[in-house]
């Protein structure tokens, strides 16, 4: 029995290390991809407007700024978009106590804690590393889960912190948002390009045509590309976080019970969007058509494994 326990621990450690390495690589690729997209738009603007070295320099600076914002401020952007507010120590003493105890057991620094006023049962973690992490929970989760269930959910989110899932997931949000922003910029460049040569109609038509060819496809792809980019965030991260959380609390039934409550709760998180859906412990958007017009699309691009599969995996531990 002792040998089996040791083997299981080694397997979990190996999986965690593999997940961390994969997250680091994918995070670097996301940052590089974001910078490349910004430079590409700048290069297109150069071709259409003829600003030359000045235009390309501006694009390079914009790419650096975009990457810096994605690295340093992604968590703040996500928290603001989710309407999260800092969890007061007095008002949410149970939340702080549970997180402190779990962090001691997992060897993690205590993350910043936030609360979202929403009746839905959900939670997420963001940040670029364990020292700059934040965990947000809904008021519905705090009100409807028992202490054991809440501890299990918090252990799940702290597992994302420990595995560096938060870095990749948080960066994906800003990269997703950049796609829609670049699409709009391309269309704006189209208008500005024509203005530069407004007195030379024959020359002014060429920039507008070039930007029209580029801007319209970007605009058409904007609703699809963000969801495809979210596929970079592997659904396996949720199952791995479930198993790690069960090992930390040493009580799988606690997380099983919490997931069952999340499964049975049909409330949609009001502040959630497809760009941030992959962050939450369970998909916060409408999964089926009767729950929303975009339900079928949300289900198609869902980044979470079926909750029944997660529950079954925990029961087999």
CA dihedral 73, 275, 181, 59 (to 10 degrees): 50
Q: Is residue 151 among the annotated active site residues?
A: no
Indicate the helix (H) or strand (E) that contains 114.
Answer: strand 112-116
Q: Out of 117, 149, 151, 157, which one is annotated catalytic?
A: 157
Q: Is 55 within 8 Å of 46 (Cβ atoms)? A: yes
Q: Is 245 within 8 Å of 162 (Cβ atoms)? A: no
Half-sphere exposure for 129 (CA within 13 Å, toward CB): 4
The residue whose two tokens read 């930390």 is: 248
Q: Reduce the DSSP state of residue 189 to 3 states and report it.
A: helix
Q: Which of 67, 62, 68, 30 is nearest to 46 (CA)?
A: 62
Q: Which two tokens stand for residue 100?
A: 């402190």
Contacts made by residues 219-227, CB under 8 angstroms, sequence distance 24+: 219/183, 219/184, 219/186, 219/187, 221/179, 221/183, 222/179, 222/180, 222/183, 225/179, 226/176, 226/177, 226/179, 226/180, 226/274, 226/275, 227/274, 227/301
d(CA 136, CA 111): 10
Q: Reduce the DSSP state of residue 169 to 3 states and report it.
A: helix
Q: How close are the terminal C-alpha atoms of the chain, in Å?
A: 14
d(CA 31, CA 138): 30
CA dihedral 293, 268, 129, 69 (to 10 degrees): 50
Active site residues: 157
């Amino acid at each position: 029995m002792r040998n089996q326990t040791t083997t299981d621990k080694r397997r979990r450690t190996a999986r965690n290390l593999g997940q961390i390495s994969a997250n680091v690589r994918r995070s670097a690729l996301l940052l590089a991809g974001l910078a490349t997209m910004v430079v590409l738009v700048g290069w297109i603007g150069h071709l259409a407007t003829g600003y030359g070295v000045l235009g390309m320099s501006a694009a390079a600076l914009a790419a650096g700024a975009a990457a810096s914002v994605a690295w340093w401020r992604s968590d703040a952007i996500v928290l603001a978009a989710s309407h999260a507010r800092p969890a007061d120590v007095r008002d949410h003493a149970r939340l702080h106590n549970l997180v402190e105890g779990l962090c001691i057991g997992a060897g993690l620094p205590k993350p910043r804690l936030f609360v979202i006023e929403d009746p839905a049962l959900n939670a997420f973690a963001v940040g670029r590393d364990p020292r700059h992490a934040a965990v947000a929970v809904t008021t519905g989760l705090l009100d409807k889960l028992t202490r054991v269930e809440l501890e299990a959910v918090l252990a799940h989110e702290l597992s994302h912190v420990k595995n560096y899932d938060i870095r990749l997931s948080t960066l994906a949000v800003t990269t997703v948002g950049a796609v829609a922003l670049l699409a709009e910029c391309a269309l704006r460049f189209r208008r500005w390009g024509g203005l530069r040569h407004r007195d030379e109609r024959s020359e002014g038509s060429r920039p507008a045509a070039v930007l029209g060819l580029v801007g319209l496809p970007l605009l058409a792809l904007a609703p699809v590309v963000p969801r495809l980019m979210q596929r970079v965030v592997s659904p396996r991260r949720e199952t791995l976080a479930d198993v790690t959380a069960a090992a930390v609390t040493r009580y799988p039934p606690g997380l099983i019970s919490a997931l069952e409550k999340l499964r049975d709760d049909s409330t949609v998180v009001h502040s959630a969007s497809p760009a941030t859906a992959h962050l939450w412990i369970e998909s916060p958007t409408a999964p089926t058509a009767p729950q929303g017009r975009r339900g079928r699309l949300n289900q198609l691009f869902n980044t979470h494994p079926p909750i029944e599969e997660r529950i079954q995996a925990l029961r087999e531990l």
